[in-house]
Amino acid sequence: MNLSNFGMDSITLAGPLESKLSASKAAGFSQIMLWAKDLAGHPGGLEQAVRLVKASGIRVTGIQVMRDFEGLSGALHEYKLDIAKNMLQVCKAVGAPLLMVCSSTSSHASGDMPVIAQHLAKLATLAVPLGVRVGYEALSWGRHVNQYTQSWEAVEMADHANLGVVIDSFHMLANQADLDGLEDIPSHKIAMVQLSDFMWRDIRSAEERLETARHLRVFPGEGAHSKELSELLRRLDRGGYRGDYSFEVFNDDYLQLSPDIVARRAHRAAKWVTDQVLRRSLQVRQPTAGHPTMA
């Protein structure tokens, strides 16, 4: 395993798109998960942002995030479908192979699993000609789908080659998920693995869950659930998963630090995963001129 298996998530880093790309590259990462707002909010507009990303040489792991998509009907469904089409175009423009879709929290959404599966399959079909895959993630506070086993149920029912499930360690840890269900998910149907931890053993309320998720996550190896996270990673590895890992770490403290410092913390997390958990040596790519490798 080498550093190319891991990538930053732009939500973790402070500053403009340029500094996020530069910090990731300086720390030795060759991929990054981008939020669409990083591109849409660039002062030079979307086209200039896309040129900047491509000129950096950093691979885009995917685009975040399509919210409250599935289970809606009528005008709401058509509205969300139109938004999704535009986000797929963003993916195509920047060369992102994956559009992330998180489970709906809307009170207007149906919990009927066949309907959810049908809508996900529709989106996956729209993504095919653009060369984009769709990844479905269970939010731990999702209204109807809040366990990774439920997101896999929807993906399996949709039965679409261009649709996969996203495994997110935070939501699994927050829900104290049973890891045995991972054995039911073929490795090729895992579209992405997102990694993070948090600093306390238990989440005591719905409010604390949201606060922790959106403001207080930490990198793997820094939190209170290293044992559970290690078991998750080993099970994925034994199951044959060889895809990308993204450090999706929402942390207000990190946003007050230089992105270079935070990217170095992410590098330590990658080393923890490979050396301490998977018992492999982390192979680091050769640094580019002006971007020394940082331990």
Percent of the chain clearing pLDDT 70 (strictly above) = 94
Q: Read off the pTM.
A: 0.92
Please give the average per-residue pLDDT across 101-109, as a whole number: 97
Tens-digit pLDDT profile for residues 121-149 = 999 999 999 999 999 999 999 999 999 99
pLDDT at position 292 over 90: no
pLDDT bin (cut points 50, 70, 90) of residue 175 is very high
Look at residue 1 in the predicted model and tell me its pLDDT. Answer: 62
Please give the average per-residue pLDDT across 29-33, as a whole number: 97
The C-alpha torsion from 140 through 245 and 269 to 31, rounded to 10°, is -130
Look at residue 3 in the predicted model and tell me its pLDDT. Answer: 79
Backbone dihedral angles phi then psi of residue 163, each to the nearest 5 degrees? -125, 135
Higher pLDDT, residue 286 or 204: 204
The owner of tokens 């770490």 is: 249
